[in-house]
Chains A and B, each alone.
Chain A
Amino acid sequence: GAVVSQHPSWVICKSGTSVKIECRSLDFQATTMFWYRQFPKQSLMLMATSNEGSKATYEQGVEKDKFLINHASLTLSTLTVTSAHPEDSSFYICSAAELAGGADTQYFGPGTRLTVL
């Protein structure tokens, strides 16, 4: 099946620094990628939707200047958490959607655990 990878799998950083998380579709082209955030035992919260070659669409309440998303190619999207603070500590999960024959299915990445000290 389709595989989505994320890098890094976990990161610890100091408050005020920026962290970049990569999401790659390994064996298919993803026209759309989604970024989610998850707190323990809670639903995935959609942060933004990114389409290759265009600006990301952010959900209400998500600061676009803080969470920079770049979808430069059909297999790579990046999320940069700028000036991270402890409250940004969370599990960030991406998914990639493959458009095939008009249907689209999301494939989820393994997640990146961010801890901001």
Chain B
Amino acid sequence: GQNIDQPTEMTATEGAIVQINCTYQTSGFNGLFWYQQHAGEAPTFLSYNVLDGLEEKGRFSSFLSRSKGYSYLLLKELQMKDSASYLCAVLDSNYQLIWGAGTKLIIKP
């Protein structure tokens, strides 16, 4: 079956760095997305990785290893507004999105 795993909840301190991991087992792979979702709002696109390696975009970076079925989202210089759920989703061989359950990130002062 198809499966995406990510931690349910993480806590970090303002100003620190946090890494949210995502592992996947899917039928085929056409890219991996990371989204940020604040409560009551639509998910916001953060990154799309289809090749191995690290993609940096400001305070956020996303890494992909296709051979390991693994990705992480790295958030630097954490701010209180980064408190949100972070969703990992993989586009499978049929171009269907397989979603992780999301990681709730709590930022403490």
Contacts and interface: CB of A to CB of B under 8 A. Distances in A.
A46 interface: yes
A46 B97 contact: no
A93 interface: yes
B45 A42 contact: yes
B48 A110 contact: no
Contacts of B43: 36, 43-44
A28 interface: no
A108 B99 contact: yes
B89 A108 contact: yes
A42 B47 CA distance: 9
Interface string B40-56: 00111100100000000
B42 A45 contact: yes
B94 A9 contact: yes
Interface string B88-109: 0100001111110110000000
A43 B96 contact: no
Given A1-B101, A41-B48, A110 B42 contact: no
Nearest to B4: A1
Interface of B: prevailing SS = strand
A19 to B, nearest CB: 17
A85 interface: no
Contacts of B99: 107-108, 110
B60 interface: no
Interface of B: 35, 37, 42-45, 48, 87, 89, 94-99, 101-102
Interface of A: 1, 9-10, 34, 36, 41-46, 91, 93, 105-111, 113
Given A43-B43, A108-B99, 16 more contacts: A9-B94, A41-B45, A42-B45, A43-B35, A43-B44, A44-B35, A44-B43, A45-B42, A91-B97, A106-B37, A107-B101, A108-B89, A108-B97, A110-B98, A110-B99, A113-B95
